[in-house]
Structure 1
Amino acid sequence: MATSDLLRHQIIKSLLAQHTEKVADAAINLWEQMAIQIISIVGEGGFNSLYARSVFLTQSTFPWLADGTLSPQTDHRFSALKICFEEQTPAQTSAANSLLLITFTDILTSLIGEQLTTNILRSAWGNDASDRAGKGFKNE
């Protein structure tokens, strides 16, 4: 299956396409929703490790991204990422966030599998997100 055909990639692209204003706020909201679901499964340390690795890999394309260190305060967990996003154009922010989310979910998928990762994203972002992204595409 081609990478662009993966339902989770389609979900990410669909959600990002919906937010053309306040792109940084929308991006952080997606990260916060996803973090809640993933932390409940792998713990804070596991999530932080996945996030740090994802940022490191994404920095080769977007070197302006802050390092992968997350704030220990859960209500400000992604504050460094938000600052980086706010300093860029909406198009740059959207592209960087898309790659960062795809990289993160690719790593997660390599650990827990495609179906479980997609189910986590559905829980985080709502089943309707996958419905909009997967019109005519069945994830088995």
Structure 2
Amino acid sequence: MACHTDKVADAAIDSWEKLATEIISIVGEGGFNSLYARSVFLTQPTYPWLATGASSPHNDYRFAELKMCLAGQTPAQAGAANRLLLITFTDILAALIGEQLTTSILRSAWGDDASENAGKEFKK
């Protein structure tokens, strides 16, 4: 089971790193860190074990705490927590800059398929 959880955690971190690269190029480290911290805060009532610390500014360690938190859960729990965290993050981003620009950023980070799926989340 640890192997499956590690794969979920690795995939989650990969998605976050790609998203962080795009967001940081627009709003800088501080802007990304603020959005990420707010998303974690809003996700914690559902997943209280989720990372509370600020992300590290160093690319290699930016999501180390998130990865540790996800790796400590079942694959289903880790996946569900990461999905809620990503949805929360993109919802906040869309509220700030609009759905169209958010979808464009997601497409740049993850490709066409991922951003189209994420865009459907905004319309819930």
> Which bracket does the TM-score occupy, shorter chain normalised?
0.7 to 0.9
1:9-88 paired onto structure 2 within 5 Å: 22-88=7-73
Q: Distance in 2 between matches of 1:74 and 1:67?
A: 18
Q: Deviations over 1:77-114 (max 9, x none)?
A: 00000000000000000000000000000000111000
Q: CA deviation at 1:117?
A: 0.2
Deviation at 1:66, TM superposition (A): 1.2
Q: TM-score under structure 1 normalisation?
A: 0.77
Q: CA deviation at 1:21?
A: 7.2
Contact 2:37 2:54 in 1 (8 A): yes
Pairwise CA distance, 1:39: 0.4
Q: Distance in 2 between matches of 1:102 and 1:129?
A: 12
Percent identity among equivalent residues?
73
TM-score by length of 2: 0.87
Structure 2: distance between partners of 1:42 and 1:26: 24
Cα deviations across residues 92-139 of structure 1 (Å, max 9, x unaligned)? 0000000000000000011100000001000000124346x49xxxxx
Partner of 1:5: none
- Gap regions ≥5 residues in structure 2: 119-124
Q: CA RMSD in A?
A: 2.0
**Structure with the greater relative contact order (CA < 8 A, sep ≥ 6): 1 or 2?**
1
Gap runs ≥5 in structure 1: 1-18, 135-140
Runs of 4+ residues deviating >6 angstroms: none
Q: 2:90 aligns with which of 98, 105, 119?
A: 105
Higher mean C-alpha displacement, 49-58 vs 63-72: 63-72
In the alignment, residue 93 of structure 2 is paired with which amino acid? L
